Amino acid sequence: MKRRHFLRQLGTGTLAAGALLGTGCQQQGTAEPAAAAPAAGFKPLKWKMVTTWPKNFPGLGTGANTLAKLITRMTGGRIQVKVYGAKELVPAFGVFDAVAGGTAELGHGASYYWKGKSEAAQFFSAVPFGLTAGEMNAWLYHGGGMELWRETYAPFGLIPMAAGNTGVQMAGWFNREINALEDLRGLKMRIPGLGGEVLARAGGVPVSMPGGELFTSLKSGAIDATEWVGPYNDLAFGLYKAAKYYYYPGWHEPGTTLEAIVNRKAFDALPEELQVIVQNAARVANQDMLAEYVARNNQALQTLVNEYGVELRKLPDTVLDRLRELSDQVVAEIADQDDLSQRVYASYRDFRTQVIQWHNISERAYLNARG
């Protein structure tokens, strides 16, 4: 395929993702992207990608690997991306500053980690009772969300891109039954971000800790409950050995968007065709991660329930109703922080209102009908 034709197809999104994935995404667990031979006369760029995940961590770390491979192969080796797991080059939560400062050209993480940089950043990953994966992509790509995300990161010299999605997460692992709101009172639970704030207002005690510490803390009783992601990732961490009840749905993370961040100077220095490739590689990686989670979560869930005897429970409607009310308050309060947060909140809220109307008569009606 002639390169210009290839790029035109990328720009209009008509190229089948599978054609790219077939060469770039199927070998998981190998973090080193194979370097293709670069075009004659072009000095290959060596880009570093720092990540907030343990290297090769299923779904999240391998999603970062996917993006690195896509960029390396789609550019014919003109950009060669090397992935670094958390702590290899910088700590997990040092990713934002590392890419902003040019230590690395690329980063892979989630925007709610950067609340300390900008309150508005929280809207671009997950909001309790907010948008699902498909709705997040709709808001970002066609609802004004991406423009606001770019504006949010512009002061830091960063360009954000959606680069993965977990889909609806699980509510988490509990060593205590939750039959009423009172059961959340005093509950020590690892739950970061806005979800944690909501739990606090419901009387719980949110705790923040990296994923690697969850199992030990839950097992020892240092915490009563934890959320992580979903069956695929939670099985990998062995959380079923430390808690009895596995609750759903993940009201606090209904479709978490993962991000790629690019150093603006590095991006601006690229020829336009390479800029288009980087952006569209992120788009492919974004969709591919979601597909992987959907494909693997149920397999893992069956293992948890049928092989390990995990008790699957739905949070009672009364509890979910109250958490939703509290979430609305917590999320609306972010809008009070500054002008940008107000505008992002308004855009997100309006899009959510609209998409709920459509999805009530499409997704929801269909899923109910399918049974």
Q: What residues line the site for Ca ion (CB under 5 A)? A: 169, 227, 253
Residue 204: Cβ-neighbour burial (10 angstroms; 0-12, 13-18, 19+): buried
To the nearest whole angstrom, how small is the minimum distance from the Cβ of residue 191 to Ca ion? 8
For residues 257 and 164, what is the distance between their CA atoms, to the nearest angstrom? Answer: 6
Closer to Ca ion by Cβ: residue 159 or 229:
229
To the nearest whole angstrom, how small is the minimum distance from the Cβ of residue 315 to Ca ion? 15
Closer to Ca ion by Cβ: residue 24 or 167:
167
To the nearest whole angstrom, how small is the minimum distance from the Cβ of residue 207 to Ca ion? 13
To the nearest whole angstrom, how small is the minimum distance from the Cβ of residue 199 to Ca ion? 13
By the 8 A CB rule, do 181 and 202 touch?
Answer: yes
To the nearest whole angstrom, how small is the minimum distance from the Cβ of residue 163 to Ca ion? 17
Closer to Ca ion by Cβ: residue 77 or 211:
211
The pairing of beta strand 188-190 with beta strand 205-207? parallel
The pairing of beta strand 172-174 with beta strand 245-248? antiparallel
Residue type, 186: G
Q: How many other C-beta atoms are found inside a 10 Å radius of the C-beta of residue 326?
A: 19
Helices 145-153 and 339-361: angle between axes, nearest 10 degrees: 150
Taking alpha carbons only, the member of 159, 162, 149 closest to residue 256 is 162
To the nearest whole angstrom, how small is the minimum distance from the Cβ of residue 321 to Ca ion? 22
Closer to Ca ion by Cβ: residue 105 or 253:
253
Taking alpha carbons only, the member of 185, 192, 224 closest to residue 206 is 192
Closer to Ca ion by Cβ: residue 75 or 226:
226
The pairing of beta strand 172-174 with beta strand 225-226? antiparallel
Closer to Ca ion by Cβ: residue 152 or 169:
169
To the nearest whole angstrom, how small is the minimum distance from the Cβ of residue 172 to Ca ion? 8
Q: Which secondary-structure segment (H or E) carries 247?
A: strand 245-248
By the 8 A CB rule, do 250 and 169 touch?
Answer: yes
For residues 234 and 218, what is the distance between their CA atoms, to the nearest angstrom? Answer: 13
Query: How many degrees, rounded to 5, is the angle at CA 281 between CA 277 and CA 286?
Result: 150
Query: How many degrees, rounded to 5, is the angle at CA 207 between CA 179 and CA 166?
Result: 80
Closer to Ca ion by Cβ: residue 80 or 169:
169
By the 8 A CB rule, do 231 and 250 touch?
Answer: no
Cβ-closest position to Ca ion: 253
To the nearest whole angstrom, how small is the minimum distance from the Cβ of residue 104 to Ca ion? 24
Closer to Ca ion by Cβ: residue 47 or 112:
112
Beta-carbon contacts of residue 306 (< 8 Å; ≥ 6 apart): none
Closer to Ca ion by Cβ: residue 67 or 194:
194
To the nearest whole angstrom, how small is the minimum distance from the Cβ of residue 218 to Ca ion? 14
Residue 23, token pair as written in the block: 């060469």
Q: What radius of gyration do the chain's Cα atoms show?
A: 21
